[in-house]
Amino acid sequence: MRALEKNIKGFNILELVAVILIVGIISAVAYPKFSDWKKKREIRDASLRIKSLILGINAQVQRGLYAFVQVYVNVNENNIIIISKGMKSDTLVSKINNGAHVWNTDPSTRCNIISETYWDDDGGADTNMVSQVQKLELDSDKFASNFSGEAAVCFSKDARWYSGAGNFVSGVGGDVSVDQTMFLCIKPSDVPTCAIDEGSGEPTVVVDNVYSIDWTRFGEVTVDKWSSLTEEWVLQ
């Protein structure tokens, strides 16, 4: 008996074009949703990493490794850099006991962001080998904050030396306060910073992907996400 010949066919040109067209349409519909999901995940992860860095350096204060610590932030056109730094007890005591030291003569300089030798351990130093201080870099093409330039906030165990520098200090003269919040958002296409009202601390445009990293003078940290639906901050 002759074996039946198999009738095997491939795609013809029209069928192949139809398949490519269908795949293209599905991809075009799905990609914006995937891209949006990816951005939301990245901004949330970045906010939580900042929180972790602040909590981490404050944990070293509670453990007694450092007596005075700093969280330094530099927002520039290339990246957002967050660095933790630490000062040990002997160093702090020597400054306090020296009446002529700038620590005592000009308290506004205590949270120093100028001197490269002020801190015992600096997470941003090229030679740093200490794991307790860290450096975090975020891409400025993806993320933005509510300010540009340098800022710093400093903590101690009993909050006695809580202080700030740069963009984390508000007011002038004797009416100076240290900010307790920084904002992080997906970078807008038309402006370099997050659109945040300084008075209310709320976004001035309708957006969802804005996070608020908040801390207390005692080193407690929380992260909130702005809800455009309810127009309020939601604890994460």
**pLDDT tens-digit profile, the chain (236 residues):** 455 555 555 556 776 666 677 766 665 555 556 567 688 899 999 999 999 999 999 999 999 999 999 999 999 999 999 999 999 999 999 999 999 999 999 989 999 999 999 999 999 998 888 899 999 999 999 999 999 999 999 999 999 999 999 999 987 766 789 999 999 999 887 778 998 998 899 998 877 789 999 999 999 999 999 998 898 999 99
- pTM of the complete model: 0.83
The confidence score (pLDDT) of residue 183 equals: 97
Angle at 33 between CA 30 and CA 37, to 5 degrees: 135
For tokens 């519909």, name the residue: 29
Residues 215 and 221 sit within 8 Å (Cβ to Cβ): yes
pLDDT at 5: 52
Q: What is the pLDDT of residue 19?
A: 66
**Token match 């991809």: residue?**
27
Helices (H), 64-133: 89-97, 102-105
Distance CA 85, CA 74 (A): 14
- H or E segment and range at residue 184: strand 181-186
* Alpha-carbon separation of residue 131 from 88, 127, 135, 232 (angstroms): 15, 12, 10, 37
> Helix-strand-coil percent breakdown of the chain, rounded to 5?
30, 30, 40
State the pLDDT at residue 57: 98
Q: How far is CA 78 from CA 25, 148, 157, in A?
A: 35, 11, 34
* Contact between 118 and 101 (Cβ < 8 Å): no
pLDDT at 35: 66
- Rounded Cα gap, residues 86 and 235, in angstroms: 29
Q: Are 146 and 112 in contact (CB under 8 A)?
A: no
pLDDT score, position 128: 87
| β-pairing verdict for 121-122 and 169-172 | unpaired
Report pLDDT for 1: 46
Rounded to an integer, what distance in angstroms lies between the CA atom of residue 121 and that of residue 91?
11
128: burial class by Cβ within 10 Å (0-12, 13-18, 19+)?
Answer: middle
- Give pairs for 164-172: CB < 8 Å, separation 24+: 164/111, 165/111, 165/112, 165/113, 166/113, 167/73, 168/73, 169/108
